Amino acid sequence: MTHSPESYVCGTSDAPLLGETIGAALERAVARWSDREALVSPSHDVRWTWREFAARVDDLAAGLLALGLEPGARIGIWSLNRPEWTLTQFAAARAGLILVTINPAYRLSELEFALGKVGCAALVTATEFKTSKYMEMLNTLLPELARAEPGNLQAKRLPQLRAVIQVGGPKAPGTLAFDDVTQMGGPRHREQIATLAKTLQFDDPVNIQFTSGTTGSPKGVTLTHHNIHNNGYFVGRAMRLTEQDRICIPVPLYHCFGMVMGNLASVTLGATMVYPGEGFDPLATLQTVANEKCTTLYGVPTMFIAELDHPDFKTFDLSSLRTGIMAGAPCPIEVMKRVNDEMNMREVTIAYGMTETSPVSFQSSTDDPLERRVSTVGRIHPHVEVKVVDLEGRVVPRGERGELCTRGYSIMLGYWDEAEKTAEVLDKAGWMHTGDLAVIDDEGYCNIVGRIKDMVIRGGENLYPREIEEFLYRHPKIQDVQIFGVADQRYGEELCAWVRVRAGETLTETEVRAFCDGQIAHNKIPRYVEFVEEFPMTVTGKIQKFIMRDDVEKRRGLKAAKTA
């Protein structure tokens, strides 16, 4: 009797894990590549070498200490991609602070929850971007700000928040200008940074990223220096990055894709971080790749599609491109072929992971066959273990589907101040239960085939139905609501809401959308709203969202983009 190998894989490597803090990694980058470009942001007229970048990081770190922030304090950042974001990321790490990354699309209730949950003592905020008026929203949330002495805020709704640091202008009353904070540190604070460099440990928490579970409010995924520093390093190694490479980063920095796979891959391997703009713009991305001779480009499939389909696409010289990462959603095979051929990205890689695993667990290699890069998410990352288990928790044979579980250096410390929620996903043996259904083949390639949870992935963004349902339950006319994903040609999935209206009330699609507008992020507002009398249920009362999904897709003729 032959025994089929089990669905367990362990990543080996000739490169050991890096046992150092992010601050130490920056010092090493300066020692090795001091005069090479570290950060380029053409729209902000920024072009800093590693030496210049590190000096600015230390100026800001000293200023944060001068504000009275103690090691372990949480500092929020609420902004799109710009150089100040990255200075804050590294300065927080140098000063022993925990950076809390806040989605720039968040609106008031989400922002208040995030800042309050982890007790942020300071917030670095943009002034505005397009329709997002950040300072206006903060003044609504914190009416005391306008009268506060800068750095000494006392707000009823967020009692722990002391300082609001404003990027851009005009400067609002009660805030500290970002550039002023960089001037505040004195010799004593510089000494403190030197001391911290010796005392901070790589297992200390350095980052909290919010992710919504399938139940209730967003949870603060707490990640250490060791988690994200190493993940950035091994992601970069998978693309064979060196100090000769230039990474174009149009993906958001508040997300692991930008700040870990982008910024931390750069600091560990000497590649240049290049930001094409604050928010994603296909034209600006193409211009930046061409002008800056980028070798590497990141994006979710919808971003690559927008670039390829831009009317001026053919006018750009993209011959400098070699590699990059496509992640966040399944990649349609036709898109992958065009990225290879028309964008010269012959060595583009696919990556899979989750915030709780820092994020990447699987990644294709630069020389994997095209078919493998489209139909799978590659093979296990170095120093990471994965097993696929059945409902009883037993490892299944290769080729069988089950829940993907991950273990290793990349696993989060836990959800901030949520021991019970942490225990639901992190077992006693150290396995993170991802909730994703996967198959691992005989060669160790992994295919993600579905989700145990009903999370919706819209254009690379994870959307969690329960969070949106809980918000909509606040509407006085809504009796019951179910949110689920339906196929979409452009985004992979779109949100659909089935609403049961209270007896004697009437409600329209427009009213539902207006209720969401300005309260939750625009990508969480359902694309389709339908009114129903009842939901399909099992005998035990469990709602069957797959039946709802099939029904809507059939009636509306919805199909997903074709993947291999």
**pLDDT tens, per residue, the chain with 564 residues:** 445 699 999 999 999 999 999 999 999 999 999 999 999 999 999 999 999 999 999 999 999 999 999 999 999 999 999 999 999 999 999 999 999 999 998 989 889 999 999 999 999 999 999 888 999 999 999 999 999 999 999 999 999 999 999 999 899 999 999 999 999 999 999 999 999 999 999 999 999 999 864 445 789 999 999 999 999 999 999 999 999 999 999 999 999 999 999 999 999 999 999 999 999 999 999 999 999 999 999 998 889 989 999 999 999 999 999 999 998 777 777 788 899 999 999 999 999 999 999 999 999 999 999 888 888 999 999 999 999 999 889 999 999 988 999 999 999 999 999 999 999 999 999 999 999 889 999 999 999 877 776 778 899 887 878 789 879 988 999 988 999 999 999 999 999 999 999 889 999 999 999 999 999 999 999 999 999 999 887 555 567 888 899 999 999 999 877 654
Q: How many Å apart are CA 538 and CA 536, to the nearest integer?
A: 7
Bridge partners, residue 323, by sequence: 296, 347
The SS3 assignment for 385 reads: strand
- In this prediction, residue 479 carries a pLDDT of 83
The C-alpha torsion from 364 through 370 and 376 to 381, rounded to 10°, is -10
Note the pLDDT of residue 539: 56
Do 184 and 67 touch, CB atoms closer than 8 A? yes
> Alpha-carbon distance 45 to 103, whole Å?
24
**Looking at this protein, which amino acid is placed at residue 392?**
E
The pLDDT value recorded for residue 439 is 94
Tell me which H or E stretch contains 10: strand 8-10
What are the φ and ψ backbone dihedral angles of 352, each rounded to 5 degrees?
-135, 140
Judging by beta carbons within 10 Å of its beta carbon (0-12, 13-18, 19+), is residue 452 exposed, middle or buried? middle
CA distance 158 to 150: 16
> Of 85, 51, 68, 35, nearest to 149 (Cα)?
68
Q: Cβ(141)–Cβ(101) under 8 Å?
A: no
Domain ranges of the chain: 22-34+48-212, 456-556
Homologous superfamily in CATH for domain 22-34+48-212 = ANL, N-terminal domain (3.40.50.12780)
Specify the pLDDT at position 562.
Answer: 66
456-556 CATH: 3.30.300.30
Cβ-count burial of 463 within 10 angstroms (0-12 exposed, 13-18 middle, 19+ buried)? buried
pLDDT value of position 563: 56
Q: How many residues does the chain have?
A: 564
Positions of E strands within 365-401: 379-380, 384-389
Give me the amino acid identity at 374: V
Residue with tokens 């722990």: 160
Please state, as a whole number, how many other Cβ atoms lie within 10 Å of the Cβ of residue 240: 16
Cα separation values, 53 from 30, 34, 38, 88, 536, Å: 9, 9, 7, 11, 57
Who's near 454: CB < 8 A, 6+ residues apart?
Answer: 214, 465, 484, 485, 545
Number of alpha carbons in the 13 Å side-chain half-sphere of residue 252: 17
Residue pair 164/178 in contact by the 8 Å Cβ criterion = no
pTM for the structure as a whole: 0.85
558, 552 Cβ separation under 8 angstroms: yes
Task: Quickly tell me which residue has 């609501």 as its tokens.
Answer: 481
Strands 120-126 and 176-177: unpaired
Residue 78, CB-side half-sphere exposure with 13 Å CA sphere: 26
R_g over Cα of the chain: 23
pLDDT, position 214: 40
CB 82 within 8 A of CB 252: no
Helices (H), 34-96: 50-66, 83-94
CA-CA-CA-CA torsion sign (196, 198, 201, 206) = positive
* DSSP 8-state assignment for residue 78: E
